[in-house]
Amino acid sequence: MPNTPHFQGTGKTVIVTGGGKGVGYGISEAFLQAGAQVYICGRREPEQLPQANGQKAIFIPVDVRDPEASQTLINTALEHTGRLDVLINNAGGSPPVVAADAPYRLSESIIRLNLIAPLILAQQAHNAMVKNGGGSIINIASVSGARPSPGTAAYGAAKAGLINLSRSLAQEWGPEQVRVNAIIAGLIRTSAAEDHYGGKAGIELIEHSLPMRRMATPEDIANACLFLAADSSAYVSGAALEVYGGGEPPSFLKMAEDALALAQG
Indicate which residues carry an active-site annotation.
155
Integer CA distances (angstroms), 35 to 11, 38, 73, 82, 254, in order: 8, 9, 20, 17, 46
Contact call for residues 2 and 230 (beta carbons, < 8 A): no
Cα gap 162→182, rounded to integer Å: 8
Q: Give me the residues paired with residue 41 across strands.
A: 17, 60
In our burial notation (b when 16+ CB lie closer than 10 A, e otherwise), range 76-105 reads: bbeeebebbbbbbbbbbebeebeeeebeee
Q: Residue 238: which of 225, 223, 228 has the closest Cα?
A: 228
DSSP per position, 131-192: GGT-EEEEEEEEGGGTS--TT-HHHHHHHHHHHHHHHHHHHHHGGGTEEEEEEEE--B--TT
What sign for the dihedral angle of Cα 210, 213, 217, 221? Answer: negative
Instruction: Report angle CA 119, 196, 256 to the nearest 5 degrees.
Output: 100
**Number of Cβ atoms within 10 Å of the Cβ of 187:** 20
